[in-house]
């Protein structure tokens, strides 16, 4: 079995890199649904349809463990995938998301006030607020939709991203911990830190490698089935010059395939 990584666009690449650096021995297939990015401004039904297509694709590519790197897709679809899709369509496949590991990490140093920046769909779902309050019922969760960031990052427009961040962070001046609740945002985590120098920034590329390593140690029944060929495939549904430029910064020798 291979490890699959799915995202709506560029963000998943930085999560894939973190996983590959932490666990280089396994075989990976990355799929970015770049034809439909951004997911954060789409309806829940459309997000579910796109994610189901991606899961079927990765399963057909031999992936037995799939990481949904997209926060929006995790928020909207993960429970359905785990409870209904996998038992019927692929009972041998495990699908994991990024939200619970992120919540656990954020709460390591703060149980009082926690900020969240994310896509409009993730904020509408209140998934971070729900999961944080399951552990700390009195937690004050301040969530803000940041719709200008994903298009700017996808277009390789980091000047535009910085301008947007400079506006968005005004909400979080006195917040001790800020979750970057979109896998695109780690690409610009240094900009968040620049404008919030005294805030702990929780970026998913900093935690997912350790979290997956720990998961596999606790689930040997999955780990022993993973193939160890050290292979990587990167597949996208559409290519753009901006995407290619950022992808090459993350993986200098990357070969992008179209599906």
Residue length, the chain?
259
CA-CA-CA-CA torsion sign (247, 204, 97, 178): negative
For residues 174 and 198, is the Cβ–Cβ distance under 8 A? no
Peptide bond into 38 cis (omega under 30): yes
Can you tell me which residue has the tokens 């900009």? 191
Strand order in the sheet with 63-68: 94-96, 63-68, 2-7, 28-32, 232-236, 256-258
Among residues 55, 96, 182, 212, the one annotated as catalytic is: 182
Displacement of CA 220 from its chain's centroid (Å): 24
Active site residue 86: no
For residues 114 and 177, is the Cβ–Cβ distance under 8 A? yes
Among residues 29, 68, 70, 152, the one annotated as catalytic is: 70
The rounded distance, in Å, linking the Cα atoms of 59 and 66 is 8
Taking the CB of residue 23, how many other CB atoms lie within 10 A of it?
A: 17
Distances 31 to 1, 40, 68, 112, 129 between C-alpha atoms, Å:
16, 17, 10, 37, 28
Q: Which two tokens stand for residue 32?
A: 């970015």
Three-state SS at 137: coil
Q: Which residues carry out catalysis?
A: 70, 182
């Amino acid at each position: 079995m291979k490890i699959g990584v799915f995202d709506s666009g560029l963000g998943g690449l930085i999560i894939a890199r973190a996983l590959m650096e932490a666990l280089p021995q396994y075989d990976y297939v990355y799929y970015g649904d770049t034809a439909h990015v951004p997911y954060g401004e789409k309806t829940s039904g459309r997000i579910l349809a796109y994610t189901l297509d991606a899961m079927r694709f990765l399963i057909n590519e031999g992936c037995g463990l799939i990481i949904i790197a997209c926060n929006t897709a995790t928020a909207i679809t993960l429970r359905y995938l785990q409870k209904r899709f996998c038992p019927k369509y692929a009972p041998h496949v495990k699908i994991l998301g990024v939200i619970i590991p992120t919540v656990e990490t954020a709460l390591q140093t703060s149980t009082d006030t926690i900020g969240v920046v994310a896509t409009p769909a993730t904020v509408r779902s209140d998934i971070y607020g729900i999961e944080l309050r399951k552990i700390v019922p009195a937690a004050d969760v301040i969530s803000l939709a940041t719709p200008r960031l994903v298009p700017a990052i996808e277009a390789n427009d980091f000047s535009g991203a910085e301008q947007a961040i400079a506006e968005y962070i005004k909400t979080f001046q006195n917040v001790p911990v800020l979750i970057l609740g979109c896998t695109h945002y780690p690409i610009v985590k240094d900009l968040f830190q620049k404008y919030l120098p005294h805030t702990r920034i929780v970026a998913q590329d900093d935690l997912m490698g350790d979290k997956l390593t720990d998961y596999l140690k606790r689930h040997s029944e999955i780990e022993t089935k993973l193939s160890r060929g050290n292979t990587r495939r990167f597949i996208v549904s559409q290519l753009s010059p901006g995407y290619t430029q950022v992808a090459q910064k993350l993986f200098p020798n990357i070969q992008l395939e179209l599906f």
